[in-house]
Amino acid sequence: MEPTASLATVAADAGVSVATVSRIVNGKNGRASAETVARVEAVIARLGYRPNPVGRALKRRASRVVAMLAPNLDNPAMAAIAVSTEAALRDAGYVMILCDTHDRADLQDDYLRAMRGQYVAGYVMVGALRSRGLEEATSRGDPMVFVARHNPLGGGAYVGIDNRAAGADAADFLLARGIDRPAVLMAAQNASSTAERAEGFVARLVERGVPAQAIRRSSVPGLSHVEVGYAAASALVDEDGWPRGLFCVSDMIAYGAYRLACESGVQVPRDCLLVGVDGNAINAWIAPWLTSIRVPYEHFGRHVVDQLRSLWGGAATAEIRVPHGRLMG
């Protein structure tokens, strides 16, 4: 439970400044008289004031623990971000606590409260969701770096790729192979990152002369991108057959679409060229049929640490957009 008395109430009752109370609480009594110290200590005892250990730990930078909150760690992209960040934090002398929010705002808030109780020095928010706990944390000024998905409340330090540019690259790739009517698969609960990829894809097609109404789009609800890919591809195909080219806003969505293609006797990439985003390391083993835009997650960690150091030093928040790689497959 938070104490009812604060530094301000103690200072007002004792007739001194907040700075004086803070120095006395922290054992720095040299600038205060013995009478002032005794008066302040008496007020502290009477009001039952207790220093906020979280605030003190953060102010002194005493904590060497950083919390990462990420959704759906069974997704190879999320796991790659976690591995990269943990290694970079360890090299910098920090320990990382990893929490899986399962893309649920209530779990995100539970973890934010729990990690605040652990006096963490900062938060790495991978795929953050709008929530009351996030609003409270940002209003307090807790050090937070948003990764892959922008802060849903706006602003904040960010590390990720230019998702619109990645979508545009996918469009150029398909058009260059003579596929002038490609389609796109998305999740109905599109996060800012995947929504931006789809927007960039469609915008580039229109820019290159493809009529907007001719661009087929399919999205279905669901948090599992593999299941989303299967269901969205099913809806697309049921409506107007298989396209010659298909942009999937994540590799996991592409995996689901591929499952449907196998069941339908459609050969990938001969009959339908699938393009994803992530460039998961396991693609070479399980998805040699997939062409994917590689996201260099292994470089995210050092940028996250740089952003945290800037926040700890009181610098303004910034965006770091890590260049994505070429299409692989």
pTM more than 0.95: no
| 265 C-beta neighbours (distance < 10 Å), count | 7
Query: What string of pLDDT tens digits covers the 329 residues of the chain?
Result: 344 577 778 888 999 887 788 778 766 666 778 888 889 889 888 888 776 554 555 455 557 899 999 998 889 999 999 999 999 999 999 999 999 999 999 999 999 999 998 889 999 999 999 999 999 999 888 999 999 999 999 999 999 999 999 999 999 999 999 999 999 999 887 567 889 999 999 999 999 999 999 999 999 888 889 999 999 999 999 999 999 999 999 999 999 999 999 999 999 999 999 999 999 999 999 999 999 999 999 999 999 999 999 999 888 888 999 999 987 66
Q: Percent helix, strand and coil across the chain, each rounded to 5?
A: 50, 15, 35
- What are the start-end ranges of the H helices in the chain? 7-14, 18-25, 34-47, 53-60, 76-91, 105-117, 132-140, 163-176, 192-207, 225-240, 251-264, 283-286, 300-312
Dump the DSSP string for 16-36: S-HHHHHHHHTT--TTS-HHH
Cβ–Cβ < 8 Å for 218, 236: yes
Question: For the chain, first and last CA: distance in Å?
Answer: 55
Cα torsion 325, 165, 248, 161: sign: positive
Report the alpha-carbon distance of residue 144 to residue 154 in Å, rounded. Answer: 13
